[in-house]
Amino acid sequence: MQYDEHTSDLGHWQTVQQDSAPALRGFVRGYFASSSLLHAPLFERHLPSNEVPLLLNFGMAHRRLDEDGGWCSHEDAWIVGLHDRPQRTEAFGERHFMVVRFTPIGAHLFLGVPMHRIANQAIALQDIDDALAKRVMDRVGRAETWSERFTAMEAVIAERLRDAQAPRAVHYALRKIARERQVNLTALADEIDCSHRALIEQFRTCVGFPPKTVDRLLRFGRTVAMLNRAWPDRPQDFVGKPYVECDEAKALPFTGLRWADFAVDCGYFDQPHFIREFRQFAGATPGEFVRQVLALA
């Protein structure tokens, strides 16, 4: 278990991280918890990733910007499906929450719903399965420490997935797409004796997006990881952790990367392709993202 603590003019944070049990690694990557007191509202940018977080809240309600540009509130427990665009949330006041870092297949088996129904959405767990939501909040809510909450949540997941079987074709295809920089999806479908159309439908059900979109998301995730490593003293946070935004007046200059070379290293055809995809997934060009978001280590 990893503990971290941070204090600044913005407020005070305590965070805890823990890996999942080995038997659940294919379904859950780990657990994260945060207790914080923030003096003023902070805006956070959540980038698309290959994880499906389940959030359990024990403090003030969380505010999220919806697709219509209005703010909505989330309390108790909610799930965030895979998304192909950035999301913004507001953090303020006293917050206590934990995150279950599901894989897409893990979330699909745990929730029992087609994942395309929750793609690009944040949905209250009770709206998906009211009995499950009550069970989760009751079991986890009775625990007194984050470690005990992680253990309680893991027990619920283990019970729920006791007889679950990951869909072999999708599981194999996901691993291959994650491992190889360029994948011929038609050839991949032939390799697992599945039509291209059937593979797309299985991905939509078990993951949320078709294989091509998942491939693009994984490449974007590797790109963001490379940007993190290129920034001096940047903490190597877990995938899916939001970035605190700063306003334009506080943006920092950055000229340490040759973007054309960086684009090729990340597997993009050229710099325009890299910038176009990055803008879609991050809501900013790479340069804007570095100046306004990544610079706030």
- Per-residue pLDDT tens over the stretch 269-293: 889 999 999 999 999 898 888 877 7
Together in a domain, 10 and 42: yes
| One-letter amino acid of 52 | V
CATH number, position 60: 2.60.120.10
Instruction: Specify the pairing of strand 28-46 against strand 11-19.
Output: antiparallel
In the numeric block, the tokens 């506080």 are attached to 250
Together in a domain, 154 and 30: yes
Separation of alpha carbons 47 and 198, rounded Å: 29
The yes-or-no verdict on residue 150 having pLDDT over 90 is yes
- Residue that terminates a domain, selected from 143, 160, 177: 160
Across residues 117-141, what is the average pLDDT? 96
Ramachandran sector of residue 93 (left: φ over 0; alpha: ψ -120 to 50; beta: rest): left
Together in a domain, 126 and 237: no
- Structure confidence at residue 55 (pLDDT): 97
In whole numbers, what is the pLDDT of the chain averaged over residues? 88
- Residue that terminates a domain, selected from 160, 186, 205: 160
Together in a domain, 180 and 225: no
For 13-52, the pLDDT digits (tens) are 899 999 999 999 889 999 999 999 988 888 889 999 999 9
Together in a domain, 124 and 181: no
Residue range of the domain that includes 186: 168-213
For the four alpha carbons of 73, 12, 10 and 85, in that order, the dihedral sign comes to negative
Together in a domain, 9 and 133: yes
- Structure confidence at residue 74 (pLDDT): 92
- Structure confidence at residue 249 (pLDDT): 42
Together in a domain, 92 and 223: no
Cβ atoms of 52 and 80 within 8 Å: the answer is yes
The yes-or-no verdict on residue 100 having pLDDT over 60 is yes
User: What is the count of structural domains for the chain?
Assistant: 3
Range of 60-74, 174-188, 207-221 with top mean pLDDT: 207-221
Together in a domain, 24 and 150: yes
Together in a domain, 10 and 146: yes
Together in a domain, 31 and 153: yes
Separation of alpha carbons 178 and 218, rounded Å: 7
Separation of alpha carbons 136 and 187, rounded Å: 41
Region of poorest pLDDT, from 10-19, 115-124, 205-214, 229-238: 229-238
Together in a domain, 94 and 191: no
Range of 11-15, 131-135, 240-244 with top mean pLDDT: 131-135
Together in a domain, 32 and 133: yes
